[in-house]
Amino acid sequence: MSIQEFVAPDSLSEAKGFLSDGAAASVLAGGTDLLVGVRLGTRNPERVVDLKKIPELTAINIDAEAVHIGAAASAFSILHDSDVPSFFPGFAEALDLIGSTQIQGRCSAGGNLCNASPAADSIPALIANGAQCLITGPGGDHQMPVEDFVVGPSKNALKEGELLVSLILPRPSSQTADAYLRLTPRTEMDIAVAGVGVSLTLDGDGTCTAARVSIGAVAPTALLVEAAGAALVGTQLDAAAIEAAVAAARQSACPISDKRGTSEYRTHVVGVLVARAIAQARRRIVEAVS
């Protein structure tokens, strides 16, 4: 490995200093992408900045408005040491699909997002839940919706010296639930052919009042399919509404063909998953209320 310097700052200001003095620096959260990249020669940092000593980067806080997940908090701690899964079972399912137990012990939701793979499992689940990115940098702090953060395969919107601090998920009401489904050739340790995140809100008589549908692995980035959500709002989630959402998702998909599936197959599958994820999110709301 070519890494010449390892630093583990314990504050955001110190970390920003290490990222903005001109050295070729990479941040390190769980390292499950970075250290593989260094090993394969695709990443070549001189300095590695370990973020896990910075309290804001690993904290998971739930307040009246939102759930705040430090960008470097491991999937294992989100899944097993926090209440996040009870608020966002779909987001939890997405994290639980990433890699093995060993990988989940290290990998983070923030890292999955910054790595910006088109097939990342947690990104459609974050988009469906309306998550925001809290970013800090030389110009101060700002927020950005997750759907705007990934700008291309392996490319994110962070500017020179900027750092993803946390993910902010608005707290769901008791009438809101999410779901994430993906298709892989194997049941474990595989990469999505297609993935779908859905969040629904229903009112007392079962009418959908809000819906967000996000699709992954079928375009250069995970997409928010606004037309799919719009097709569901105001309906009772009847067959025609679900079919319209499915059609909108397939319309937005522009997948590649590769060893995991052809473009036609992925486009078909993403629609199937949209219908199933809607059904699962609805079931969660109905079961929570009854």
Task: Give yes or no for residue 240 binding another protein (CB under 8 A).
Answer: no
DSSP state of 179: E
What residues have CB less than 8 Å from 169, skipping those under 6 apart? 66, 67, 69, 87, 88, 91, 126, 129, 130, 131
- Write down the residue that tokens 């689940």 correspond to: 125
Between 59 and 256, whose beta carbon lies closer to another protein?
A: 59
What secondary structure does DSSP assign to 244-275, as a single string?
HHHHHHHHH--PPPBTTB-HHHHHHHHHHHHH
According to the binding rule CB under 8 A, does residue 106 interact with another protein? Answer: yes
Site for another protein contains 76 (CB under 8 A): yes
Rule CB under 8 A: say whether 99 interacts with another protein. yes
- Residues 6 or more apart in contact with residue 56 via CB below 8 angstroms: 12, 70, 165, 166
Among 151, 189, 240, 289, binds another protein (CB under 8 A): 189
Show the site string, 35-74: x = touches another protein by CB under 8 A, - = not.
xx-xxx-------x-x-x---------------------x
Whose Cβ is closer to another protein: residue 32's or residue 82's? 32
Cβ within 8 Å of residue 24, ≥6 positions away: 44, 45, 46, 47
Q: In the bound complex, what is the minimum distance in angstroms from residue 216's beta carbon to another protein? A: 21
Q: Quickly list H helices, 107-194.
A: 109-115, 122-128, 146-149
Say whether residue 203 binds another protein (CB under 8 A).
Answer: no
Phi/psi of residue 23, nearest 5 degrees = -70, 150
**Least distance CB 102 / another protein (angstroms):** 5
Task: Choose the binding region for another protein from 32-40, 192-200, 224-232, 256-264 (rule: CB under 8 A).
Answer: 32-40
Binding of another protein by 244 (CB under 8 A): no
What gap in Å lies between CA 86 and CA 88, rounded to an integer? 6
5 touches another protein by CB under 8 A: yes
Determine the interface stretch with another protein among 95-103, 219-227, 239-247, 275-283 (rule: CB under 8 A): 95-103
Instruction: Calculate helix-pair angle for 239-252, 263-289, nearest 10 degrees.
Output: 140
Query: Which of residues 12, 23, 59, 103 is near another protein by CB under 8 A?
Result: 103
Q: Which residues pair with 144 in a beta bridge?
A: 133
Binding site for another protein (CB under 8 A): 1-6, 8, 28, 30-32, 35-36, 38-40, 48, 50, 52, 74, 76, 80, 99-103, 105-106, 188-189
